[in-house]
Structure 1
Amino acid sequence: MGVPFVVEALMRIGVIDIGTNTMLLLIAECRDNTVAGIEHAYRVTRLGRGVDAHRRIEEQTFRTCLQTIVGFWHSMKRYNCDRMIITGTSALREVTNRDEFIASVKSQTGLEVEVLSGEEEARWTFAGGLSSMPIDGLYAVLDIGGGSTELAIGTHVDLQRYASIDAGAVRITERFFRHDPPTPEELAKARTFILQGLEYFPVIDPLKTTVIGVAGTVTTLAALDRNLKTYIPDQVTGHVLSRNFVEKTFHRFSSIPVQEIRELLTVEPGRSDVITGGILILLTFMEHQNIESIVASDRGLRYGIAMRECARINGVNAISLPRVP
């Protein structure tokens, strides 16, 4: 059972989330039981490029990611953050040159990279995803990343079930899609692989559960559905995506080349080459769980980590954490 708390003094938390496809920065202020984001940034760095096949961070990718981390670190210093956290997820769990990468980050910034397990990733993504939702209710948070996908189910005070599978937008694209656009056979093989993973997910009761989707696939679809020309987090968070829209978008994107997708994704063109794989994961999940809609949220792992740090400063270790206004 979680224990609510109040943070009297204003604290600034900086979080860098090293994703398999995208690197994200959040600078947040924590006070009076709320976490408010004051600065956001992201870069499509594709840390996971080639990782599924070779289990190594490629040399150029290594340099690009390191430069991005250093740039984000300077942003955190400019904001005088009291806590600065760097987390790694699926790709860093797998690569053989992880220690070299982590050592390079520490050499450049003085900060350790915290490589999260699938369980930890699910837990803190769940906390972040719930941060803007009403206190009462049962929730499921789906996080489609570049290398893995997590599902966590629970309430604001109780994380009940979770699972993590090695199926993400980058991994699906690199492992199965050899043509542009992918052939029906490639799509079918990818779907079979995804379904095998989804068997490990807990079953959701769609009549009793609000399903929330975080990370780039869902937020990009929400921006597309809202016809946004620039990405505005507050207009993405809370937007409801229907399965019908997800299905129509999948059929459209899976039948056109990446260049045409890039022209359609004005807010997220860097995802154009992997978005079809991500949408296939989302659609297969919704079909498998008989879910008709999903609520998009821009508040994922990095918000959960910021909330965790606020809780740690106050000696609290619970799923009941600061809320985002």
Structure 2
Amino acid sequence: MKCGIIDVGSNTIRLSIYHYEGRRFKLLMNKKEMAGLAGYIQNGTLSDSGILVACRVLASFKAILENFDIQEMHVFGTASLRNIVNTEEVLDTIRLVTGIEVSVLSGAEEAAYSFLGATVGGGAPAAGLLADIGGGSTELVSYEGGRITSGCSLPMGSLSLYTKYVSGLFPTKEERRAIRAQVKTELERAKTAGVRCSHMTGVGGTIRAAAKLCNDRSNADPDNPVLPAWELQELYQQLKKGDQKTLRQILRSVPDRVHTILPGLVILNCVLNSYEVETVSVSTCGVREGYLLKRVMGVNEHA
């Protein structure tokens, strides 16, 4: 069987095409559009322009699936559609314009699917912390023996923090301080203080971009998935200078993250410090694979 899964995120909208059978699946194709929906949210409302961007991208992805003669399509939204006041209006407009039904995941569902995708689909260690830093939200799940011990979804991400606090391309010292203050407040509100996880598995665009930048700086294999936490903390210290060298490095390695990488790294560093993380691995699987396993394939993570 083949299916397409579309993830409507705050920063990107992604289409993944899978072949699946039994408990096994294979990714056939991945395509993303940097839609930046979080940038179209004003006073908690996704603007008409933002809705049209979502419709345009979804229609183009639907056409791709039709060209491949793939009938099965699943579309879900995360923080981009969850943390707005006009969710139903947006869903109705998308349905009217494109004929596509979009389901909106709760924060708990997004965290659970990210965990399932990373642990069952991506082979994460049996214990540790899972962090999914997206454009509009951050999911944190601590687990042991393959089971969740605590989890939360924080209403902040790399793009939403950029949109809220940053006036230029890179955040100033004062803007970085404001971002860090909100991240720490959200972590304290989530009552995760006291949880310690020496290893973290990272999911999402921020951690993938950070790993790519670290590997580029150290001339390591670009696909090296395991990094010491201090290397990611050192990366932030270098990039926060926001000078010409910083800009060149980001444009060379992760050009589509040029404006969101620093806000994302603030979140990442606060999480590393809060949980006293020592090593970080980057998972190739996440929320889409978790959705595929649970909602499409009906796989129980503990089966």
Could you say which TM-score interval applies, normalised by the shorter chain?
Answer: 0.7 to 0.9
Q: Which amino acid aligns with 2:55?
A: L
2:81 pairs with 1:99: no
Q: Which residue in the other structure is 1:18 paired with? A: 8
RMSD between aligned residues: 2.6
Q: Shift of residue 132 of structure 1?
A: 4.3
- 8 Å CA contact 2:136–2:159 kept in 1: the answer is yes
Distance in 2 (CA, whole Å) between partners of 1:257 and 1:193 is 25
Q: Which amino acid aligns with 1:161?
A: S
Q: Shift of residue 80 of structure 1?
A: 3.6
SS in 2 for 1:131: helix
2:19 pairs with 1:29: yes
Equivalent residue for 2:141, pick from 141, 152, 155: 152
Q: Which residue in the other structure is 1:86 paired with? A: 75
Matching of residues 84-233 of structure 1 within 5 Å: 84-134=73-123, 137-154=126-143, 158-199=147-188, 200=190, 202=192, 203-207=194-198, 210-227=199-216
SS in 1 for 2:2: strand
Distance in 2 (CA, whole Å) between partners of 1:266 and 1:116 is 34
2:286 pairs with 1:319: no
- 8 Å CA contact 1:141–1:214 kept in 2: the answer is yes
2:63 pairs with 1:74: yes
Pair 1:12–1:259, CA change in 2 (3 A)? farther
Q: Shift of residue 141 of structure 1?
A: 1.3
SS in 1 for 2:38: coil
**Larger RCO (CA within 8 A; separation ≥ 6):** 1
Q: Which amino acid aligns with 2:67?
A: R
- 8 Å CA contact 2:51–2:94 kept in 1: the answer is no
Q: Which moved more, 1:56-65 or 1:285-294?
A: 56-65
Q: What 5-or-longer segments of structure 2 have no aligned partner?
A: none
Q: What 5-or-longer segments of structure 1 have no aligned partner?
A: 1-10
Distance in 2 (CA, whole Å) between partners of 1:13 and 1:265 is 33
Q: Shift of residue 37 of structure 1?
A: 0.5
Q: Which amino acid aligns with 1:297?
A: S
Q: Percent identity, please.
A: 24
Pair 1:194–1:153, CA change in 2 (3 A)? same
Distance in 2 (CA, whole Å) between partners of 1:65 and 1:196 is 31
- 8 Å CA contact 2:40–2:50 kept in 1: the answer is no
Q: Which amino acid aligns with 1:205?
A: R
By percentage of residues, which structure has more helix?
Answer: 2
Q: Which residue in the other structure is 1:49 paired with? A: 39
Q: Which amino acid aligns with 1:319?
A: E
Matching of residues 220-259 of structure 1 within 5 Å: 220-227=209-216, 236=223, 239-256=225-242
Q: Which residue in the other structure is 1:38 paired with? A: 28
Q: Which moved more, 1:145-154 or 1:54-63?
A: 54-63
- 8 Å CA contact 1:57–1:97 kept in 2: the answer is yes
Equivalent residue for 1:272, pick from 258, 263, 276: 258
SS in 2 for 1:143: strand
Distance in 2 (CA, whole Å) between partners of 1:276 and 1:54 is 24
